[in-house]
Chain A
Amino acid sequence: MTAAGKLAEPVRGQVNADGILLSADPRLMRLHLRSGGAEGGPLAVPELAELCRLSRRLGMNLSRPAQASDDECRIDMWVETRFASPEKGERLSLEIIDWKERPHEEPRQMDPARARDFDRLEGRGVIRTDAALRIIAQQMPGDADQASDAIGQSLLDIYDVIPPSGHARLLEAVAERQPIRNQRVQEKFGSQHLYVLQGQPLIDKVGIFAGYRFAATPDIPETSDNDNKPVATKLISDSLFGFQLGPALRQPLGKIIANAETISSKLEGPLRGDYASYAKDIASAGRHLLELVNDLSDLEAIERPEFTVAADDIDLVDLAHRAAGLLAVKASDHQIRIDLPKEGEKLPARGEFRRSLQIIVNLIGNAIRYSPDGSVIKLRVSTDQEFARISVTDQGDGIAVEDQDRIFEKFERLGRSGDGGSGLGLFISRRLAGAMGGSLTVTSSAGKGSTFTLALPERE
């Protein structure tokens, strides 16, 4: 792609009365072919073809701006149509006197480590394979570190494909480089966990198929045997989210968000006016709903009597950097700077990796939500009395002393609304901190910002 702007020489082409592109300069021909046209076929660039039709219907020369798009860039043009003579049926010349190419907004290519953090935060595992379905990397839900024993083995040697799908159908999809949706698999050895895989084919920079990236969600088998379900307390959320609504809502919401983001980033071509902003609104509303579903699922999980957390070896400085990375876009949307402990510093602690990350993401997310644009959020670590502590300090309005306990209550919003919060985040975070043997506290005064501190047992 050339980033060339205005041309010394116009790009030219000729179209006959049937709309067939008779000749074209290389740039126009390339655009025509990339728009699905063929040599000797009708002009396939929609806006140019429309101008030609209008020009021919009126029998007049036109001079107008036009926009086109191919795989690589959006092209702003100034197009002039010219009849060689006034005779009907005469070929029409196209002269494009401005040809400004702008690369498409990069579909936010996510850093693989950041993508993994998102997956872990959502309780998903990740399996990366090569083109022959050999596992290159694997990190399953609940594992603090990458599994090394599976590396190099075929995916099908580690996992059984569960009916109704079979090996053949999976291999067929792989052979056609198709995305793989809702493929149920079971570990052949060990704990024999069940997972649902969503696979995206990976294409490298030279366009060659390079394998798959699978997201693995633990699969809870549908069974009529109520013994498998918690019975100790019959909470409404048990039946609503744990087994039914949560999984059923996440998938369509995920599709809505993904499609709305595709539209808003104009990946499929140019979009008239500001329709992209509508799609952005849809994606944002979808994300809000998904967060609510996740909060309600977490609420259900922590209220179960058998709820437990793993005791992983974690590093709070590392978690601070990961959490800040996950929220970097949101912070930059509000020109907020997140001031982090120095990279390389370490503060070992004991707690479940995913749940600790979830708490810190929640604290930073709240700080962004309630801080003025352009402010600074500070993350600091310290140790005392066998606890490792991480604090998140914002420059928001602060919380009055009498409200500081209330904010940790379920659905407590302190009268706020419309800011995307559900009133569950701090309640869940404090319960999670407690379950890990730690605590979550706040110090604040009205008008002077707030400091939330997560304390977790220090690791030896």
Chain B
Amino acid sequence: MDTTTVDLRHVTKTFRGTTALRSINLRMQPGVVGLLGPNGAGKTTLLRILATVLAVDNGSVRVLGRDVTDTEQRTDIRRRLGYLPQELGFPRGFSAYAFVDYMAVLKEWDDAAARRTEVRRALAAVGLQDKATKRIRALSGGQRRRVALAQALLGSPELLVLDEPTTGLDPEQRVSLRQVLAEAGRTATVVISTHQTDDVAALCDRVVVLDEGSVRFDGRVQDLVNEAAGRVWLADRADPRASASWRTGTGRYRNLGQTAPPDAELVEPSLEDAYLLLRGASAPDDAEVAA
């Protein structure tokens, strides 16, 4: 049985002469997929296309077995879709409950009792049941992000498209969110764009690395990590030949590269190491390394 939920073929998208996506081919099945890539790699563009809010210039996009270019089929996709954009503003004067309730109506939850139950469930799923009646304006950044996430979880969608869902969340909230998304990923396709490689490592079955609009890697997380095996070293000083190098909390330097620095110790690579090596990062800023 074909379980493909997302099928992108030769998808290209250009904004005012800048190519955001170059002939992307991707197929996704239920599970959690992590999208990694530097700023401007095309992650958000790809997610907006999956969320049916952005049309492609070339190529074909089928989501949940439907063609996104057909109006009725697109509406059907939206009925089965949860979308968290990278930046979401909220209408003025809304409480958390009112906003999620409003979104539930837009998602055709017409029955008042069923909608009330579902809105409460979604708010509870992100740990905001106690803040439901608070004005969104009075919530913290992390709480607002969770309100935005709650609306995406409405109706337990078959496809969840989440653009940087963990931004602004504290470690406990991130772990809780991982539980929510891992549970969702058992039956649904969850696509997450993030800069947090540890989230991807902890949560995703599969990782897609985008760079300059092209797919640089597409496979299992462990496969990407394995590619870095034998190329991550701990040494007493930074190696100028390394792709990336930074001082760790122990005072030693983590060096990513083909050759061993003097007196270096080979260590197990992380997903972040593998990602940086894949990109061939030369500067911590470029590679978004947190020293």
A and B part of one assembly: no
**Residue positions of B touching A, CB distance < 8 A:** none
